[in-house]
Amino acid sequence: MTGVTISLFSFLLVIAAAICFSRCHANSSVICIESEREALLKFKNDLMDPSNRLSSWVEGGDCCKWNGVTCHNLTGHVHQLHLAAPLDDYVAALVEPEAYWRLRLGGTINPSLLHLKHLTFLDLSYNNFSNIQIPDFFGSLGNLTYLNLSLAEFKGAIPHTLGNLSKLRYLDLQCLFFPWMLGEARDMEAKSLAWVSGLSSLEYLDLTGVDLHKTTDWLQVTFNLSSLLELHLHGCNLQGPSPYYLGNKSFLEVVDLSYNLLNSSIPNSLYNLNHLQSLHLSKNMLEGRLPTSLKDLCNLKELDLSDNKIEGDISEIVHSLSSCSLDCLETLNMENNQLSGHLTDQLGQFKSLVHLSLAGNRISGPIPLSIGELSSLKVFDVSENQLNGTFPPSLGQLGNLETLNIGQNLLEGVVSETYFSNLTRLKELKASRNMLRFQPNSSWVPPFQCKTIELAQWYLGPKFPRWLKFQKNLSDVDISHAGISDVIPAWFWNLSTQFGYVNLSSNQISGMLPYLNVSAVADLSSNRLTGPLPRVLPTLEALVLSNNSFSGPLLEFVCNSSKRTQMEILRIDTNLLFGEIPDCWNQWQALRNLNLGNNKLTGKFPPSLGHTNLGMLNLRNNSMFGELPSALQNCTRLVILDLSENHFSGSVPAWMGDKLSRLEVLRLRSNNLDGHIPDKICALPYLKNLDLAHNNISGAIPKCFSNLSKMATKDQGYGYLEGSYLEFGEPFYFSASLVLKGREDEYGSTLGFVASIDLSVNSLTGEIPKELGTLIGLISLNLSWNLLTGNIPNDIGNMELMESLDLSMNQLYGGIPSSFSDLNFLNHFNVSYNNLTGQIPTSTQLQSFENSSYMANHLCGPPVSKNCITKGVTNEGGKGEGSNDRSKVNGLYVSIMVGFVMGFWGVVAPLFFIKSWRHSYYQKLDHVGRKLQVFWATMGR
C-alpha cells in the first residue's frame, strides 16, 4: 500500500525537480559559431513549440544567448542543451492543464544536432515526442556525458547505437510507470541490454518503466559495468533472475529493482556488491530466506525488501545485519513478507535507523525496551503482526518520531499520557485493533499535532476524547469501537476545515448530525444518532450511517445537490427514514452501492435510480409497492439486488434474465409477487443466491434451473462479486442477508461461498424437477410450504455440500431416496407434512434429527419410533458404511470450507473490515494517481 503512495509522491517529486529552464543559458560574452547556429535553427525548425519557448532562437542571433543553450566560455562551441519542459508546477498543471501541456516541445528531432560536435549535455525530458522513437543518430553524439530523455514519451525500442556513447556518465530514459502497470506493456522496450556494456563511463542508468521482460542479460551487463554507481530498473517487468556468480567488479552503490516480477530467492550475486548503500527490491515475488552474506553489505544505508514472500526469523536477520552495518543503516523496510520470531534488544543498536517497517509479518512477542535507544527514528511501523505485551513506555523516548504504527497486534493494558510527553513531532498515530485503554486526565494537552489518529477498538470512553480538541491538523481519524457514549462535541467538526476520513462507528454516540465536513470517507454507523440526515460535501465518496436512528424523508438529502455528487457508497440501512424514495438520482452517476434497507420507506420505485451504475441495491424491509420497476433494466451492472420484504406486486420479470447478466444475488422474498418463475431466470450465469420465498408464485419449478452454472459447481471461483472487490477494493460494502437454516444472517465476503435457493411459502405445483440435482454447489435448498407433488428425485442426494434441506409442507410421496445418506453435512433437515412412506435411510446425519423433521408422514425406522418391517436392512447398512467412508474425504474438505465460511464472518471479518477501510483510503490515493495518469494521457497527447 505505502509503496503505491511512495511511488506516486516520488513521481510528483520528480516533476517538481524538473530542471529550471530560465537559469540555464550562458552569460558569457562569447559569440556562437555560425555552423552551430545553423544546426540549432534546423533543429528548431522540426520541433513543435506551441508556447514559443524557443522564441529567442532567431536567424543571425548569438546562439550562446538563446534559451536553453550553453556555450563553452572560451571556445564558443555549443556545449549543453537544457530543453526539459518546465513542468515543475504541479498545481498549475491541475488549474490550467492546457497551458501547462503547451510548455512541451514536440515534433521530430533533426539530425543537424550532429553538427554540434562539442555537445556534452542534452536534456529533453518531459517533452512530448510521442510520435517517434529515440533517434538512432543520438548514438553518434560521441561527446555526450549527460543524456536525459526521461518522461519525454518516446515510443518503441531503445536504439542500440546509444551503446557508442562511451563518454556518457548519466543516462535517463525513464518512461511513465504506475504500480498498477506491473506486467503490462509500456511505451518503450528493449530486447537486450548488450549495448549498455559499450557505455564504459556510465555512472547513472535509469530505465524505469521501460519494458525489459524480453531481456535475459540485464543483470550480467549492468553488474559487470565497473563504472556504474546507480542502477534504476524500477517497474521494468524484469523476470528471473537466475542467480549466477558475477564476480565482484561492481562498484554499484544504488540498485533499484523494485516493482518487477523477480521470483527466485534473493540472488546471491547481490551480495558481491560490497559498495552497496541502497538496495530496493520491494514489490517482487522474492521468496526464501535472506542469505547470511547479507552481513558483507557493510555500507548499506537503505534496505527495502517490502512486499515479497521472504521468510525467516527477524532476530536472525537483525543479527546478520548488525555485524557491520550498525552505524550506517538508516532504512529497513521488510513489510508484507512472511517473517516470524521475536524482536530482540539487538534492534536498539542501530543508532542511525530513521525508518523501520516490519508491518504485515508474523512477528510475535513484546516490543523490546531497546526501541527507546533508536534516537534517530522517525518511522516505526510494526502493524499487523502478533506482538503482545504492553505498550512499551520506551517508545516515549523517541523524540524524533513522526509515524508510529502499532495497529493490529495483541498489545494490552493501560497507556499513560506520560508515554507521549516527548513525542512532540508525531504526525501519525496509528494503533487501532489492540486491547489498549487510554483515559488521560481531562486536562491533558497532547504535545503533538497529528494529521492521522487511528485508535479503533481502544477503550477511550465513555466521554468523547477531549484531548482531540488540541489537534489542529487532523485529517484522518478513526476512533470506532472505542466505548464512547457521548454526543459529538461542537469543536470536533471545527478541528479541520475538511477531514478526509472519519470513522466514529460502533460507539454509543447520540445527538443530531447537522453536517459532515468530510471529503472522502465517513462512517458513523452503529451509533444512536438522531434527526435528519446530515448535509455532506459533494466530494464525499463513501457515507455509512447504517444502524442509527436518523429519521425523516430522503428528499432534501437526495435532491438538494445541484452538482454531481461523487458518492460511490451510500449506506443508510437500519434507520427510521420514512416517505418516498425521491426521483432525482440523475446527479448520482458515481453511485455503485446503495443500501436503504430496514427503514420505513414507501411509494413506488423511483425510475431515475435506474440511470445510475449500481452494483448493489438493497431496499429490503421497507413498504415499497408497485410492479418490479422496468427502470432497473438499465442497471446492467447489478450484482446484488435485494427488494425483499416490501409490497411489490406483479410477476418476476423475464427481463431480469436478459438484462441483469451480472446478478449473483437476487432476493425478492416476502412481497406480493404472483405469476410463474420465468425460464429466463436460468440465463443468469453468475446467480448463486435466489430467494423468492413468501410470495404467491405459482406454476412449476423450471427444469432449466440446471443451467444456473454457478450453483452447479462446488468450486464457485470468482464472479463479478469478487471482481468488484478487486476493482473497487471495498469488499465489505457488498453484503446481503441470506436466510439459511431458518436463520437470517448478513453475509459479506463469504457471500460467494453460500449458494442457495429458497422458494418456500408459495403456490408452486408439479414435481421437484430431477434436474435440480445437478446444482451440486447448493448449501441450502428450501421448497417448503408449496403444493409440490410426486417423488423426491434421487438426484437430490448428489448435492453433497447441502447443509440445509427443507421439503416440508408439500404433497410429496414415495420414499426418502437412499442417496440422502450421502448428505453428510446436513444440519437442518425437514420433510414433515408430506405423504412420504418407507424407511428413513441410515446415515449419521439423517438419524440425528428430531422426530419432528419427519412427522406427519408414514415413515418408519429411527429416529421415528415406528419400526419398519423390511428385509433390505443389511443391504441398506452396507451402503451406509461405504458412503460414510467416502464422505470422510469430502468431509474434511467441506468442513474446512464451511468452517471457513461460518468462522470467517464471526472472527476474522471484523479484522478485515478495518483493513478494508484502510484499503479504501489508500485506494483513494491510487485513484488520484490514476486520475493523474488519465489526465496525462488525455491532455498530454
Whose CA is closest to 584, among 555, 548, 542? 555
Question: Of residues 102, 309, 437, 611, which one binds ligand NAG by CB under 6 A?
Answer: 611
Question: Of residues 137, 146, 419, 849, which one binds ligand NAG by CB under 6 A?
Answer: 419
Cβ contact 238:263 at 8 Å: no
CB atoms < 10 A from the CB of 725, how many?
A: 20
| Binding segment (CB under 6 A) for ligand NAG, from list 17-25, 630-638, 725-733, 800-808 | 630-638
The SS3 assignment for 646 reads coil
Please enumerate in sequence order all residues whose Cβ is within 8 A of that of 146, keeping only pairs 6 or more positions apart, or say none. Answer: 120, 121, 122, 123, 168, 169, 170
For residues 32 to 71, the per-residue mask of contacts with ligand NAG, x marking binding by CB under 6 A and - elsewhere, is: ----------------------------------------
* Residue 264 contacts ligand NAG per CB under 6 A: no
Distance CA 334, CA 362 (A): 12
Whose CA is closest to 281, among 273, 293, 270? 270
H and E: helices and strands count for the chain: 12, 61
* Residue 118 contacts ligand NAG per CB under 6 A: yes
| Binding segment (CB under 6 A) for ligand NAG, from list 418-426, 477-485, 526-534, 826-834 | 418-426
- Shorter beta-carbon distance to ligand NAG: residue 106 or 606: 606
Grid cell digits, residue 11:
513521481
Question: Of residues 589, 630, 811, 875, which one binds ligand NAG by CB under 6 A?
Answer: 630
Closest distance of CB 328 from ligand NAG, Å: 25
- Shorter beta-carbon distance to ligand NAG: residue 324 or 631: 631
Measured CA distances, 941 to 98, 127, 369, 935 (Å) = 11, 11, 56, 10
* Residue 102 contacts ligand NAG per CB under 6 A: no
- Shorter beta-carbon distance to ligand NAG: residue 115 or 160: 115
Question: Of residues 282, 397, 403, 457, which one binds ligand NAG by CB under 6 A?
Answer: 397
* Residue 341 contacts ligand NAG per CB under 6 A: no
Distance CA 123, CA 208 (A): 17
- Can you list the alpha helix ranges (DSSP code H) found in 387-512? 490-494
* Residue 610 contacts ligand NAG per CB under 6 A: yes
- Shorter beta-carbon distance to ligand NAG: residue 411 or 772: 411
- Shorter beta-carbon distance to ligand NAG: residue 266 or 614: 614
Closest distance of CB 342 from ligand NAG, Å: 9
- Shorter beta-carbon distance to ligand NAG: residue 420 or 921: 420
Per-residue three-class SS string for 925-936: HHHHHHHHHHHH
| Binding segment (CB under 6 A) for ligand NAG, from list 388-396, 714-722, 863-871, 885-893 | 388-396
| Rg of the Cα atoms in the chain | 34
For residues 769 to 808, the per-residue mask of contacts with ligand NAG, x marking binding by CB under 6 A and - elsewhere, is: ----------------------------------------
Q: Closest-CB residue for ligand NAG?
A: 142
* Residue 657 contacts ligand NAG per CB under 6 A: no
Distance CA 233, CA 918 (A): 29
* Residue 462 contacts ligand NAG per CB under 6 A: no
* Residue 418 contacts ligand NAG per CB under 6 A: yes
* Residue 117 contacts ligand NAG per CB under 6 A: yes
* Residue 413 contacts ligand NAG per CB under 6 A: no
Question: Of residues 50, 61, 111, 389, which one binds ligand NAG by CB under 6 A?
Answer: 389
* Residue 364 contacts ligand NAG per CB under 6 A: yes
Question: Of residues 634, 765, 890, 933, which one binds ligand NAG by CB under 6 A?
Answer: 634
Please enumerate in sequence order all residues whose Cβ is within 8 A of that of 632, keeping only pairs 6 or more positions apart, or say none. Answer: 605, 609, 610, 638, 641, 656, 659, 660
- Can you list the alpha helix ranges (DSSP code H) found in 678-782? 720-728
Whose CA is closest to 706, among 798, 575, 803? 798
Determine phi and psi for 855, rounding to 5 degrees: -65, 165
Measured CA distances, 885 to 778, 824, 842, 845, 848 (Å) = 22, 11, 14, 14, 18
* Residue 631 contacts ligand NAG per CB under 6 A: yes
- Shorter beta-carbon distance to ligand NAG: residue 137 or 912: 137
Long-range contacts, stretch 8-16, CB < 8 angstroms, 24+ apart: 8/178, 8/925, 8/926, 8/928, 8/929, 8/932, 11/178, 11/929, 12/90, 14/150, 14/151, 15/87, 15/88, 15/90, 15/126, 16/88, 16/90
Question: Of residues 346, 421, 539, 566, which one binds ligand NAG by CB under 6 A?
Answer: 421
| Binding segment (CB under 6 A) for ligand NAG, from list 150-158, 232-240, 285-293, 387-395 | 387-395
* Residue 637 contacts ligand NAG per CB under 6 A: no
- Shorter beta-carbon distance to ligand NAG: residue 417 or 767: 417
The SS3 assignment for 683 reads helix
How far from the centroid of its chain's Cα atoms is residue 535's Cα? Answer: 29
Distance CA 602, CA 67 (A): 70
Name the E strands within 233-389.
Answer: 239-240, 254-256, 261-262, 278-280, 287-288, 302-304, 309-313, 331-333, 338-340, 355-357, 364-365, 379-381, 386-389
Cβ contact 399:424 at 8 Å: yes
| Binding segment (CB under 6 A) for ligand NAG, from list 316-324, 462-470, 564-572, 605-613 | 605-613
With CB under 6 A as the rule, give the number of residues binding ligand NAG: 23
| Binding segment (CB under 6 A) for ligand NAG, from list 222-230, 414-422, 580-588, 799-807 | 414-422
Please enumerate in sequence order all residues whose Cβ is within 8 A of that of 440, keeping only pairs 6 or more positions apart, or say none. Answer: 416, 417, 467
Distance CA 884, CA 891 (A): 9
| Binding segment (CB under 6 A) for ligand NAG, from list 385-393, 489-497, 753-761, 777-785 | 385-393
* Residue 560 contacts ligand NAG per CB under 6 A: no
Question: Of residues 51, 108, 130, 143, which one binds ligand NAG by CB under 6 A?
Answer: 143
Where does this chain bind ligand NAG (CB under 6 A)? Answer: 73, 117-118, 142-143, 364-365, 388-389, 393, 396-397, 418-419, 421-422, 607, 610-611, 630-631, 633-634
